[in-house]
Amino acid sequence: MFGEHHDIPKEFPEYKDVIKRLCEEDSDFQLMYVEYHGLDDEILKIEQNIEATSDTYAEELKKKRALLKDRIYNRLVEEGAPA
């Protein structure tokens, strides 16, 4: 949705336990998780007109966020069944 956070636990609630475990135990996952939420915060500020930017830059951020979300999801699937 436009103008709201896309938190990973909210996006994949069925993987809540896997997300928690990976955030605690896996430094690569932690980096992806932090980067994803940083991009999400920046996109939200742009969508709420808190930060001015070009449409091209905003779209680049959204593409990066989508790619990271895909990588995170693939990692969650690899790690096991949802709770």
pLDDT digits (tens, 9 = 90+) for 52-61: 788 999 999 9
pLDDT band at 5 (very low <50, low <70, confident <90, very high): confident
* 62 assigned to some structural domain: yes
Provide the domain count of the chain.
1
* 1 assigned to some structural domain: no
pLDDT band at 29 (very low <50, low <70, confident <90, very high): very high
* 2 assigned to some structural domain: no
* Host domain of residue 36: 8-79
* 3 assigned to some structural domain: no
pLDDT band at 82 (very low <50, low <70, confident <90, very high): low
Give which of 71, 48, 68 is closest to 58, Cα–Cα. 48
